[in-house]
C-alpha cells in the first residue's frame, strides 16, 4: 500500500514514523519546501509543489498511490483544495488529519478575526507592542502600521515587506510556558497575534498571555474542502488506513 502524506506538521511526522515500521506500507511524505531546514519524517520524502491539482493527480497516478492523507497546516488552504480536487479526479481515498482548534477558557481576552488583514485592523485599539506569531508569510498585512512595534517569531528570516519597527526572533517550537512568559515580559508585549493553529506545541503563549491579561487576536481557520473526512489525531488516521 502506497500512502502519500502531505506533511510539514508534527502530526504528519508522527504518522509517517508509525507507517514506516510496517513492511506492507510504502510511505511518502511531501513537504512544501518553505522552510530552509525542515524536520524530515521517516520514509520517502519529496520537497516542493506538484503544480496544482492536475500535477498532483498525475503524481498520484504515476506513483500508484492508494491513499492520500492531508496532514498539512490548518491554514494551508491551497494545498488542501488541490488535494481534494486531485483525489476526486483519480479516485484515491483522501483523509484530512487536522489537530483540533484552540478553545478559549475563562480569563482569555480573545478577539477572533477572519484574516491577517482584519488582525492588522484590530491592533490600533488593543496595544502597541505586538508579538506576531503568524509566521513569516503574510507580514505585508501589517507593514502599514507605523505606530506599532512588532516582535516577529518565525523559523526562517522574513522577507520584505514587513513593518518598519520589527524585531525578528528566529525560533522553532515546541515552546515552553516559562519561555513564553519570558518573551512577553522581556519585550514588554501588550498584544499577541496568532493563527488558530491548534495543538500543544505553540499553545503555551496563550496561557502566558492569559496570565498577564493580554488581548489576543486570533485568526480563524479557513473552512476545509467540503466532503473530505477528517480525523483529529494520528490514531484516527491509522484506523482509517487499516479499514482500507
pTM: 0.88
The rounded distance, in Å, linking the Cα atoms of 20 and 223 is 31
Compute the C-alpha angle 76/133/78, nearest 5°: 10
Average confidence (pLDDT) over 145-169: 94
The predicted pLDDT at position 80 comes to 96
Whether cis (ω within 30° of 0) applies to the bond prior to 161 is: yes
Instruction: Say if CB 229 and CB 61 are below 8 A apart.
Output: no
- Determine the Cα angle at 89 with ends 88 and 92, to 5°: 55
Cell of residue 39, nine digits: 524536520
Pairwise CA distance, residues 208 & 170, whole Å = 19
The reported pLDDT for the residue numbered 22 is 94
Helices and strands: H and E segment counts in the chain: 7, 12
φ/ψ of 88, rounded to 5, equals: -65, -35
Q: Determine the Cα–Cα distance for residues 89 and 206; give it in Å rounded to an integer.
A: 41
Place of cell 506576531: 132
Residue 224 has what pLDDT? 84
pLDDT of residue 173: 86
Q: Which range has the worst mean pLDDT, 30-44, 80-94, 134-148? A: 30-44
Confidence of residue 133 (pLDDT cuts 50, 70, 90): very high
In angstroms, the CA 48 to CA 31 distance is 6
Distance linking the first and last C-alpha atoms of the chain: 10
For position 32, what pLDDT does the model report? Answer: 85
Domains of the chain: 2-100+223-243 (3.40.50.720), 109-219 (3.40.50.720)
- Between CA 211 and CA 77 the distance in angstroms is 32
pLDDT tens per residue across span 67-125: 999 999 999 999 999 999 999 999 999 999 999 999 999 999 999 999 999 999 999 99
Rounded alpha-carbon distances, angstroms, from residue 155 to 94, 137, 138: 29, 11, 14
pLDDT single digits (tens) 12-35: 999 999 999 999 999 999 998 777
Amino acid at each position: 500500500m502506497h500512502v502519500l502524506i502531505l506533511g510539514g506538521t508534527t502530526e504528519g511526522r508522527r504518522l509517517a514514523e508509525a507507517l514506516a515500521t510496517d513492511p506492507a506500507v510504502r510511505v511518502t511524505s511531501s513537504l512544501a519546501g518553505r522552510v530552509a531546514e525542515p524536520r524530515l519524517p521517516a520514509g520517502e520524502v519529496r520537497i516542493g509543489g506538484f503544480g496544482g491539482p492536475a500535477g498532483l493527480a498525475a503524481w498520484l497516478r504515476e506513483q500508484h498511490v492508494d491513499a492520500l492523507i492531508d496532514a498539512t497546516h490548518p491554514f494551508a488552504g491551497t494545498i488542501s483544495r488541490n488535494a481534494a480536487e486531485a483525489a476526486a479526479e483519480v479516485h484515491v481515498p483522501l483523509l484530512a488529519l487536522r489537530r483540533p482548534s484552540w478553545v478559549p477558557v475563562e480569563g482569555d481576552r480573545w478577539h477572533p478575526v477572519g484574516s491577517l488583514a482584519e488582525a492588522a485592523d484590530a491592533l490600533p485599539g488593543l496595544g502597541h507592542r505586538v508579538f506576531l506569531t503568524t509566521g513569516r508569510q503574510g507580514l505585508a498585512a501589517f507593514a502599514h502600521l507605523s505606530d506599532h512595534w512588532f516582535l516577529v517569531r518565525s523559523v526562517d528570516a522574513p522577507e520584505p515587506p514587513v513593518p518598519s519597527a520589527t524585531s525578528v526572533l528566529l525560533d522553532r517550537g515546541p515552546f515552553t510556558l516559562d519561555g513564553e512568559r519570558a518573551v512577553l515580559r522581556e519585550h514588554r508585549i501588550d498584544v499577541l497575534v496568532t493563527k488558530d493553529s491548534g495543538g500543544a506545541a505553540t499553545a503555551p503563549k496563550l496561557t502566558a498571555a492569559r496570565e498577564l491579561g493580554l488581548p489576543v487576536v486570533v485568526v480563524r481557520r479557513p473552512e476545509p474542502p467540503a466532503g473530505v473526512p477528517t480525523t483529529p489525531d494520528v490514531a484516527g488516521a491509522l484506523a482509517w488506513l487499516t479499514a482500507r
